[in-house]
Amino acid sequence: MSSGMVLSGVTRTYAGGAGISGVDLKVAPGQVHALVGLNGAGKSTLMKVLLGMIRPASGTIRIGDYPVRSAPAEVWSRVGHLVEGALIYGEFTVAGNLRMSAALHGVPRSRRDALVGTSIEEFGLSRYARRRARTLSFGNRQRLGLAAALQHDPDFVVLDEPTTGLDPSGTILLREELRRRAGAGAAILISSHHLDEVSRVADRITVINDGRIIGRLTPGGSELERAFFALVLADDEQRRSRAEEAP
């Protein structure tokens, strides 16, 4: 079993100061790890850095026991991700998008049709299998993006606000899929602002604010929303106090 996904002292800032700073985070195999924070807290930046989409200014990132910058193709074939919206091709059919995703993740040609058929069924996309992706509703595009990210049973999963656009049945389906994959040993990182849903699916909950990890929440704990806002408010007040004391 690999060590999962690990960020150590990672910093990546943008002009104006937004980004992440000094982030330490470990996403262990067999766990759903939720990252929660207000809009602009740095969730998407953290995920992009973890996936090698953008480079950090400092710190180290490892995925499957390899540094992200030198991880071999075999490792990336075991990654499933959806960050800032579903990456799908509008002119391809639903089935065509899933076949392409399977090919990009190294699934043998002999297995692709069966895999795609199973994924279409599991994600409730059967009636749309031959439809061009651009004709789908936003919610069904999200289902397609999630199906593409998860159909190859990845060992490392990174999903940014995965329940966006999903109806209740889609949300429950995703919850079951994530729990099943974690049970099989996958390391899963999700971001969300839906604290009630996070509490149902996550083994660990980490709070990020202003680009920094500021604490943890207890999944299933009472008053989860109150605890979250208390952490954020306390951090904001501490930063404001330090700024006022600075010469």
Angle formed at CA 128 by CA 123 and CA 132, multiple of 5 degrees: 120
Going from the C-alpha of 181 to that of each of 152, 192, 214, the distances in angstroms are 11, 18, 28
Backbone angles phi, psi at 178, to 5 degrees: -70, -40
Residue at 216 is within a domain = yes
User: How high is the pLDDT of residue 32?
Assistant: 97
Q: How far apart are CA 185 and CA 193, in angstroms?
A: 25
Q: How far apart are CA 27 and CA 202, in angstroms?
A: 11
Backbone angles phi, psi at 26, to 5 degrees: -125, 130
SS3 133: helix
Residue at 144 is within a domain = no
User: How high is the pLDDT of residue 247?
Assistant: 67
pLDDT, tens only, 64-109: 989 999 999 999 999 999 998 777 889 999 999 999 999 999 999 9
Our count of domains for the chain comes to: 1
User: How high is the pLDDT of residue 2?
Assistant: 65
User: How high is the pLDDT of residue 80?
Assistant: 96
Residue at 53 is within a domain = no
Say if residues 56 and 49 touch (Cβ distance below 8 Å).
Answer: yes
Residue at 222 is within a domain = yes
pLDDT < 50 positions in the chain: 1
The closest alpha carbon to 231, from 210, 218, 214, belongs to: 214
Residue at 237 is within a domain = yes
User: How high is the pLDDT of residue 4?
Assistant: 95
User: How high is the pLDDT of residue 3?
Assistant: 83
Residue at 149 is within a domain = no
Residue at 211 is within a domain = yes
User: How high is the pLDDT of residue 41?
Assistant: 93
- Enclosing domain of residue 240: 28-44+158-247
CATH number reported for the structural domain that contains residue 240 in this entry: 3.40.50.300
In the numeric block, the tokens 């996958």 are attached to 186
Residue at 214 is within a domain = yes
User: How high is the pLDDT of residue 100?
Assistant: 93
The amino acid that residue 167 corresponds to is: D
